[in-house]
Structure 1
Amino acid sequence: MDSRAVITARTGTPPGTAVPVLPACWREELPGVLGELAEAWRDPAAWSGMTRAGGVDLPGSVAAVVAADELVVHGWDLARATGLEYVPDPAALRASYGFLREAAQDAGRGGGIFGAVVSVPEGAPLLERAIGLSGRDPAWTPPSP
């Protein structure tokens, strides 16, 4: 498959349409891919114009916030599931929290990409509040083996 077809498959496929097939070496490749993502967002042009992700066309500035949210929330998922400490980038956390707070006000939110909001005290750390807005319980821990 040529690189253009791979890019189209990654950006044009709506969530839930297909489960991605991860290569066996995904753990080794992840740091490099995340570095490429960070490098791409360092270019001011990435923040303007339109782009496509998950089968949806959206402004570059919105895509940046969505990318930050993905990293914060799924970074928490991985850290929590593996018992590792997690301290996200403060700017990415603030962007994620703002995005999730706005999404939480969507009246039809019960399902879709986010679950129902998990109530978290207003004075809780920002990460816990963001995780609750994402539909996750910030107190969750994996079951004991």
Structure 2
Amino acid sequence: MSLASCLVFPDFTPRPHLVVAAAAPHEKLVARAAERLGAPVPCEEWTVRDLAEHMMTWTPVLAGSGRRTPPAAGTPKAEGDWVATLDAGRDDMVAVWSDPSAWEGTTTMTASELPASMVGTMVLCELVLHAWDLSRGLGEKVTWDDAVLAEMLEAMQQMAPLGRGSAFGDEVPVPDDAALLDRVVAVAGRDPAWRP
């Protein structure tokens, strides 16, 4: 019996149109990350290196999941020409999940069968949150259009409760009039005011 048949998941809205926009800041941030691998990031006790290696691990898994053939997660290191490796992997993942067909039916990540729209939403959340994480660790500014962030807030409000205590921390309170990006990261358990 599959995990998907045992658990009830929300009906995630397919959002292939957001994938390119969500990924847009990454190329610049990852290039900058190569110069600051030891800098802290908002993920507890992680550095830029840890975050880069996390992205290098899961980017090919998420891309493969969109194709219905995810590889086993590896243990890549931020060594050698890792920036080019991560950039190529991200471009592949973005291309896969920008195709509406990737969001249909079910797929797998490692051994678990999941709704494809849920995995696609994970992709969006990873792209936005990790760009924000990098931007804070590197002291860079990151922005997305409000239209993108409004949809991301809805997606995060669906996704975050499923991963509390693992992928996401407890929601951080923010004012009702907080900026959209602050609300997105707060739902994910990040403190929008975090600084190194």
TM-score range, shorter chain: 0.7 to 0.9
- C-alpha distance in 2 between matches for 1:62 and 1:37: 15
- C-alpha distance in 2 between matches for 1:112 and 1:46: 25
| Runs of 4+ residues over 4 Å off in structure 1 | 89-92, 103-106
1:103 Cα deviation after fit: 4.5
RMSD: 2.7
Identity %: 35
Other structure's SS at 2:72 match: helix
Find 2:75's aligned residue among 20, 37, 51: 20
Q: Can you give the 5+ residue segments of structure 2 that lack an aligned partner in the other structure?
A: 1-63
1:2-26: CA deviations, max 9, x gaps? xx9x94313xxxxxxxx83325122
Q: Can you give the 5+ residue segments of structure 1 that lack an aligned partner in the other structure?
A: 11-18
- C-alpha distance in 2 between matches for 1:94 and 1:20: 34
Preserved CA contact (<8 Å) 1:96 1:130: yes
Find 1:62's aligned residue among 118, 141, 157: 118
TM-score by length of 2: 0.56
- C-alpha distance in 2 between matches for 1:65 and 1:91: 16
How many equivalent pairs are there?
128
Bigger relative contact order, structure 1 or 2 (CA pairs below 8 A, ≥6 apart): 2
Preserved CA contact (<8 Å) 1:66 1:96: no
Q: Identify the residue that residue 99 of structure 1 maps to in structure 2.
A: 155
Other structure's SS at 1:9 match: coil
TM-score by length of 1: 0.73
